[in-house]
Structure 1
Amino acid sequence: MEHFKNQPIPMLIRQATIHDLPTLLQFEQGVINAERPFDPTLIPGAINYYDLEMFITSPDVELLVAELDGELVGSGYARIKPSEKVYFNFDRFAYLGFMFVSPQHRGKGINKLIIDELKEWAKAQGLHELRLQVYADNEGAVRAYEKVGFCKHMIEMRMEVE
């Protein structure tokens, strides 16, 4: 168990299980709803980003949840991916995603606890590179990732052709 922000409430960061799926599916919709304002290319209506059941069972994915007093309050995963370019100085990396903290628990360091555990998992897999994607206009998320050590690297741009 971990404590966050010097508060006495025990925070447990653990691997997700199949029993966590109903809550994880709600978290996924939370991620999607938070990202919709930043992405006009998302189709309207219900969508899913992740194959959460596969993430739970795959040896190449570490899906973690944050649990506070028996309630799931956050999530995140690291997935081993091959390098996109032959000229990178790494052949595999850990891609992080599904970073979600329940609104009432944001700002308490939960995201950092999850990322720290994912970083340790990546090291144990022999990986030396972590990557993630965040919408450039999502300033709060950008600041949160910078706060835990990520730095801006490449900006992907888009244009709609009419």
Structure 2
Amino acid sequence: MNIEICNSEEDKHGNSKENIFLAFGDNGNYLGSAFTYPTINYHQVYETPYLIFISINIGDNMDKPLSDEVRKKLFDKVLLRAKELRRQRPDLKARIYSGFEYNKNTLDFYTKNGFKEDYSIIMEAVIPKSFEYILPEKVKVVDWKINSEQDFMKYKAMYDEIFVTPLDMEVFKEQENQKHFKNLAFLIDGDLQGGCTFFEKDGFAYVETIFVLPEKRGKGLSKIIINYMFDYFISNGLNKTKLEVWQLNKRAVELYKSFNYIEVKKNLMFPGITL
């Protein structure tokens, strides 16, 4: 079968059409697609701020030889484009990567094509039952309510600016149903400084997010947030806590270690190449 790769004629998701590729067969039948999306993120990966994500999606009902051929042709095209994007910012250290969720077949494909394994780290800590913390008077903590789609989109815009993995509304709604769910905002003089999201999961106080707005960093707020969470956990009978962090986010890893979090597991995710 002859496989034709072309750029998308429309751009529906805020990406450049030159970054979107479609694969078609002899009869114009759809075979698959790929895209690359560049972003600059100093918040989670300070040392490698230029992140270029690539994704490949193969159509249904194809035999394995054809599926493998389509995937490889799309990969070659999208990787070439990702490298072109990388050259546009020679001043920044860059990483071309793929995959937010673990999938062995996908991981095997990327590693066979020159990408290196990367990890997210599962960390756990045991909080002493005698732990107590008094919040500084200048800091106010409020529930950050997401009551409408407009609220969610505003929150998502801020979230996606800070975190590598985009916020998913369905996942967020599922978390809201968990016991002890809290989405908190930390304010000083009425001004938003940072926040966190956590809930109970499998007997652990699971920390989904901790963030401090870029312009508010360097004042110790992340430690205030963690201390506040630990106090809340202990007050509600939870002395074990767990979180997941990208290993490239070295600042966050060191912060969590300072609160006695230890690495208990690695997930193979985010295969990529650093340029």
Range of TM-score over shorter length: 0.5 to 0.7
CA contact (8 A) 2:197 2:209 kept: yes
Name structure 1 gaps, 5 residues minimum.
4-8, 37-46, 83-91
The amino acid of 1:105's aligned partner reads K
- Tell me how many residue pairs correspond in the alignment: 134
Alignment deviations for residues 41-100 of structure 1 (CA, whole Å, 9 cap, x no partner): xxxxxx424555676686530222110221211111221112xxxxxxxxx111102211
Alpha carbon RMSD of aligned pairs, Å? Answer: 3.0
Matched with 1:81 is 201
Does residue 25 in structure 1 map to residue 136 in structure 2?
A: no
The code of the aligned residue for 2:187 comes to: E
What is the CA-CA distance between 1:26 and the residue it aligns to? Answer: 3.5
Any conservation in 1 of the 2:135–2:228 contact (CA below 8 Å)? Answer: no
Q: The residue matched to 2:265 in structure 1 has which SS? A: coil
Percent of residue pairs bearing the same amino acid type: 22
**In structure 1, which of residues 53, 63, 79 is the aligned counterpart of residue 183 of structure 2?**
63
Structure 2 unaligned blocks of 5 or more:
1-133
Of 167, 172, 177, the residue aligned with 1:48 is 167
Equivalent residue, structure 1, for 2:238? 127
Query: How many angstroms does 1:140 deviate by?
Result: 1.2
What is the TM-score normalised by the length of structure 1? 0.66
TM-score normalized with structure 2 length: 0.42
Cα shift at 1:145: 1.6
Larger radius of gyration: 2
Relative contact order, CA 8 A, sep 6+: which one is greater?
A: 2
Match of 2:257 among 146, 149, 154: 146
Structure with higher strand content: 2
1:14 to 138, 142, 157: 142
